[in-house]
Amino acid sequence: MNTKIKTLLEQGQVAGFFAYKRIHGVWYPYLFTKSELDQLEPWQPFKSRYPIAKLLLAKARQNPDQTFGVLVRGCEERALREIFKWNQLDPNRVVMVGQACTEDLAQTCECAKPFPDQLNYGSAPAGVGRQRRVAELEAKADGERMQWWLSHFNRCIRCYGCRDVCPVCFCTICSLEQSDVAPTGKLPPDTSFHLVRAVHMAGRCVDCGLCEEVCPAGIPLRALYKKVNSLVADLFDYRTGADDGRSPFTFLGDESRLPAGLR
Amino acid sequence: MANSFEPKILAFLCNWCSYAGADLAGVSRLQYPPNIRVIRVMCSGTVSPHHLIHAFQKGADGVLVAGCHIGDCHYLKGNYMTLKRITFVEELLRFAGYDPARLHLEWISAAEGIKFAETVRAFTAEIRSMGPAPTFEATPRLALSA
C-alpha cells in the first residue's frame, strides 16, 4: 500500500489516510499522515477486519473541512456508500482505495462481494451466493422459528457491541438507549431491542458481519440482517451498498418504489 | 375457556384522519367491539417499530395502525413512510416467527366512520379467531433450557 497512498499523501490530496500498520505482527488500522510515509508497508493480503469506515466517520466529523483517504474492502466500500446516501459524509471529502479480500476470508464471511468496485490491491475472489442459515430458518415452522430466535435473544447481555462496531450505525443519539422505548436494567433486553435494530438496518446493513463477530453471546445477528437485506431488495427493489439508487428509508414520498398492492 | 378470550388490540390512530374517523363512528352511534385501546398519534408515520414490537411483547393480541389515505396526509408524505415501514415490519415479524396478520394497516379518513367501525369489527373477529398471541418475550429461563 505504499505507492498509491504515498502519492495521495505527498500531493496533499488527503490530510490523512486510514490504512493498516503492522504492530507485533498484527495488522491494526492506523491513520497515516504525511510525516509517517516511511512507515507504510507494501500491501499484502491479511484477514484482520476492523470498522474502518466508522473510524473515518468519527475523524471526518471532527474535521469537516479535511479530506481523508481510506483503504477499503468490499463491505467497507458499501458501508461508505450508505453513509454518503444517509448524508453523513461528503463523498468529495473521501478518497477510497480498494483492496480485495482473500479467498478463504470470503468463504468465512460468506460474502457475496468480497472486493470493492474500486479495486487497487489484490485480485477479486469469487463471491459466495448462498445464505445457508437464512434458508435453514425459513424452512422452520413459524412457532419453531420464534422459539429459535427467542432462545438466542435470551443470551443478550445488552453490551451494545453490535451497534458500536456497526459501520453504518452512525446516529449520535440511539433510540436503543432511550429508557422510554428500551427500558434499562432489564436482562435479557426486550425482543424489540434486536428487532428494532433490524428495522434500523433496513437499507443500511452492508453484510460485513462484524456484529456477529463481536457478539459475546454469539447471537446469530447476521442471519437476521441478511434477511433484512433480502427483504429490502424484494420489497423496495434496492440493493444496499450499491453505487446508485436511494435507500428506501432515507426519504419520504412516492419516488420510492412502494410495495405492490397499494391500499 | 376459549370462548372467554377477549382480544386486546392496540390502535394507533392518526390525529387528522383516523382519530376523527373514530370520532365520527362514535357520534354516528356505530357499534364496534370494545377491544381496541386507542392511542392518538400526530401522524401514522411517527409510529416507531419500537411501539409496534413493544406492544406485542407486552401482550397485545393485535396492533392496528390507521392513517390518512395516500395523498391526504396532513404532513404531505408521512404515510408513505408508514406504508414502507409497516410492510417491512410485517415481513420481519414473519421471519421472527410471529404471525404478521396481527399487525394491520388501514387508511381511514375523517369521513369514514363506517369504515372505521367495519375495520375494527373485522380485525377483532380475525384476532379472536387466531386466539391469544404467543409470548414474544425473551426470558432468562428459556436461555437455560436452550
- Regarding whether A188 and A105 lie in a shared domain, the answer is no
Q: Is a pLDDT exceeding 70 seen at residue B2?
A: no
In a domain, residue A260? The reply is no
Q: Chain A, 114-173: which have a CB under 8 Å from a chain B CB?
A: 137-138, 140, 142-156
* Mean pLDDT, rounded, for A68-78: 93
* Through-space distance between the first and last CA atoms of chain A, rounded to whole angstroms: 54
* Domain final residue pick, A74, A109, A144: A109
On whether ipTM exceeds 0.90, the answer is: no
Q: How many domains does chain A have?
A: 2
Long-range contacts of B123-129 (CB under 8 A, 24+ apart): B123/B9, B123/B62, B123/B64, B124/B7, B124/B9, B124/B32, B124/B33, B124/B35, B124/B36, B124/B62, B126/B62, B126/B101, B127/B7, B127/B9, B127/B35, B127/B61, B127/B62, B127/B102, B128/B5, B128/B7
Q: How far apart are CA A82 and CA A225, in angstroms?
A: 15
In a domain, residue B1? The reply is no
Q: What percent of chain A clears pLDDT 70, i.e. is strictly above it?
A: 95
Q: Is a pLDDT exceeding 60 seen at residue B69?
A: yes
A108 touches chain B (CB under 8 A): no
Structural domain for A219, as ranges: 132-250
Contact, B73 vs B43, CB < 8 A? yes
pLDDT of amino acid A248? 84
Query: What stretches of chain A show up as alpha helix (H) in DSSP?
Result: 3-10, 52-62, 74-85, 103-109, 132-139, 142-153, 161-165, 191-200, 210-214, 221-236
Contact, B146 vs B57, CB < 8 A? no
Structural domain for B49, as ranges: 7-145
Reported as a single tens digit per residue, the pLDDT across A88-126 is 999 999 999 999 999 888 888 888 899 999 898 988 888
pLDDT of amino acid B143? 46
In a domain, residue B2? The reply is no
CATH number at residue B24: 3.40.50
Q: Strands A94-98, A68-72: parallel, antiparallel or unpaired by DSSP?
A: parallel
Which candidate from B77, B80, B96 shows the least CB-CB separation from A149? B96
In a domain, residue B93? The reply is yes
In a domain, residue A170? The reply is yes
pLDDT of amino acid A186? 82
- Regarding whether A136 and A95 lie in a shared domain, the answer is no
- Regarding whether A173 and A231 lie in a shared domain, the answer is yes
pLDDT of amino acid A255? 52
pLDDT of amino acid A1? 59
Q: What percent of chain B clears pLDDT 70, i.e. is strictly above it?
A: 93
Interface test with B, best of A150, A151, A250 (most B CBs within 10 A): A150
DSSP character string of B2-62 = GGG----EEEEEETTTHHHHHHHHHHTT----TTEEEEEES-GGG--HHHHHHHHHTT-SE
Grid cell digits, residue A81: 456508500
pLDDT band at B86 (very low <50, low <70, confident <90, very high): very high
What one-character DSSP code corresponds to residue A87? Answer: T
The H or E element that residue B89 is part of is helix B78-95
Q: How many domains does chain B have?
A: 1
In a domain, residue B69? The reply is yes
pLDDT of amino acid A254? 61
Kindly report the nearest CA distance between residue B80 and chain A, in angstroms.
6
Reported as a single tens digit per residue, the pLDDT across A174-194 is 999 888 888 888 888 888 899
Which candidate from B70, B92, B142 shows the least CB-CB separation from A228? B92
Kindly report the nearest CA distance between residue B138 and chain A, in angstroms.
5
Q: How far apart are CA B13 and CA B21, in angstroms?
A: 9
